[in-house]
């Protein structure tokens, strides 16, 4: 859930959260949306309720009709990496 929320906040801040689906204006005109096709998680530790974390996310091209989104989740106090994730999205 934290990964999805961070991704939605990221696309909203970039101005491409059209119609609630995170689509660019051009995609909306063509009636296209992004669809998650796979996700890869590398857990070093589970996050417990009440833990404070810091999440970084960014996107990268992944071919002609898609992109890749990456995350790093760190313990807020120690800055140690807890989880890495990569999600592939097609449209």
Which one, of 52, 36, 47, lies nearest residue 83 by Cα?
47
pLDDT at 19: 57
Better-scored residue on pLDDT, 58 or 15: 58
Domains of the chain: 2-90 (3.10.129.10)
Mean pLDDT of 12-40: 71
Confidence band, pLDDT 50/70/90 cuts, at residue 53: very high
Confidence band, pLDDT 50/70/90 cuts, at residue 78: very high
Q: CA 75, CA 64: separation in Å to the nearest integer? A: 35
């Amino acid at each position: 859930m934290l990964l999805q929320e961070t991704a939605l906040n990221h696309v909203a801040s970039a101005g491409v959260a059209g119609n609630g689906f995170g689509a660019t204006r051009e995609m909306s005109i063509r009636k296209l949306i992004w669809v998650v096709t796979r996700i890869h998680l590398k857990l070093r530790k589970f996050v417990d309720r009440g833990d404070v974390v810091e999440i970084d996310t960014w996107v990268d091209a992944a071919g002609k009709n898609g992109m890749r989104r990456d995350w790093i989740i760190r313990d807020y106090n120690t800055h140690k990496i807890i989880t890495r994730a990569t999600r592939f999205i097609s449209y």
